[in-house]
């Protein structure tokens, strides 16, 4: 059996005339991480849920309000941090675990601060939720650019994972704020309202901030595939608009479902006393609200899957073309291992 040397002279199998990649060198490649596929994300989710439940029980039994911050932190950060562990077990390239943790915490803090500044001058109106969506997705998009600037390789999958990390950090700190506001009332601490808020936001967080930023990241990194730096494309702007609109629809689902419930039941809007929905309409509002969230979530997941499949097919076409160019030389003969054709210029004479 013969194999081709880099010089083009056949050598017997087992002979090598160039440096070989050892098992140690292969393991050291940046694409291989020892923490892949350990399942820590679901183990952390289960353990964190048990700790959260135990903390609630102890708080109720002892009436110790000092434990309320623990409930807020555990409930708000458990699912988003689980998303980060999920990413850590799957990310490749030059991204380190510390970079992901930093993106989660620092990105989350800067995200809510930036969004708060952009939203401070917004006034209630029909376009409020849409403007909020554009503001928050802009902040997360900028943070994603900063986090992913030096990441190699840039692929759609890598961008989706990093986008999910930034979105998870934003969701964690935002959920903590909502939980705090739900707990503080004029009558003291409302534990039931706090727990209801945390459960709702924990369940919905993977298909909200996490999903929107994952879509934006997949397009941003997918367009820059094979390049050391990001590349501008109108598809980036289109994607930003799409995720912002989805974000706005998600936030406005409660208002839209309330309006539709009044229309479907034939109840006049004047029946709402002091902003309270009549009992006969409340059940319809809840049903429409859940359906609305489900529809927006399905659309978002479908968009993300479509983007990832598109760039995967594109990558396979490019790899196939590169492999074909490397294997075949100028005159249709096998190329050397470095991609150089067997001969250049005039083909060899035919044997008569």
C-alpha–C-alpha distance, residues 185 and 194, integer Å: 11
Q: Which two tokens stand for residue 144?
A: 């994603």
For the full predicted model, state whether its pTM sits above 0.85: no
Q: What is the pLDDT of residues 53-105, one digit of tens each?
A: 999 999 999 999 999 999 999 999 999 999 999 988 888 777 788 888 888 99
Q: Alpha-carbon distance 133 to 172, whole Å?
A: 17
Helix (H) or strand (E) holding 12: strand 10-12
The confidence score (pLDDT) of residue 329 equals: 52
The predicted-structure confidence for 311-322, as pLDDT tens digits, reads as follows 999 888 877 887
pLDDT digits 0-9 by tens, 162-197: 999 999 999 999 999 999 999 988 888 899 999 999
DSSP symbol at 153:
S
In this structure, is the dihedral angle defined by the CA atoms of residues 312, 317, 323 and 325, taken in order, positive or negative?
A: negative
Task: Decide: 154 and 148 in contact? Cβ < 8 Å.
Answer: yes
Confidence band, pLDDT 50/70/90 cuts, at residue 3: very low
Q: Is the pLDDT of residue 336 over 60?
A: no
């Amino acid at each position: 059996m013969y194999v081709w040397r880099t010089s083009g002279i056949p050598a017997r199998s087992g002979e090598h005339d160039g440096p070989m990649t050892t098992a140690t060198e292969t393991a050291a490649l940046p694409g291989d991480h020892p923490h892949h596929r350990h399942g820590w994300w679901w183990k952390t989710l289960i353990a964190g849920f048990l700790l959260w439940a135990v903390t609630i029980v102890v708080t109720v039994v002892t009436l110790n309000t000092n434990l309320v911050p623990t409930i807020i932190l555990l409930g708000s950060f458990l699912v988003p941090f689980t998303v980060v562990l999920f990413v850590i077990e799957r990310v490749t390239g030059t991204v380190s675990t510390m970079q992901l943790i930093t993106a989660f915490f620092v990105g989350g803090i800067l995200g809510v601060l930036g969004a708060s500044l952009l939203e401070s001058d917004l006034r209630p109106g029909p376009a409020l939720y849409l403007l909020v969506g554009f503001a928050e997705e802009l902040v997360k998009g900028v943070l994603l650019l900063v986090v992913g600037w030096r990441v190699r390789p840039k692929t759609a999958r890598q961008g989706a994972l990093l986008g999910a990390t930034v979105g998870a950090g934003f969701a964690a700190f935002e959920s903590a704020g909502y939980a705090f506001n739900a707990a503080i009332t004029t009558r003291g601490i409302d534990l039931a309202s706090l727990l209801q808020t945390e459960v709702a936001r924990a369940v919905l967080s993977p298909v909200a901030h996490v999903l929107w930023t994952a879509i934006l990241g997949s397009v941003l990194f997918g367009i820059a595939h094979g390049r050391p730096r990001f590349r501008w494309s109108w598809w980036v702007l289109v994607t930003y608009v799409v995720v912002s609109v989805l974000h706005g629809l998600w936030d406005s689902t409660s208002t839209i479902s309330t309006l539709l419930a009044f229309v479907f039941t034939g109840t006049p809007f004047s029946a709402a006393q002091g902003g309270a929905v009549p009992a006969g309409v409340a059940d319809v509002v809840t049903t429409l609200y859940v359906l609305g969230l489900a529809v927006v979530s399905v659309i978002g997941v479908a968009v993300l899957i479509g983007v990832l499949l598109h760039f995967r097919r594109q990558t396979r076409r490019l790899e196939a073309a590169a492999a074909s160019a490397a294997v075949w030389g100028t005159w249709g003969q096998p190329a050397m291992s470095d991609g150089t054709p067997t001969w250049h210029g005039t083909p060899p004479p035919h044997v008569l």
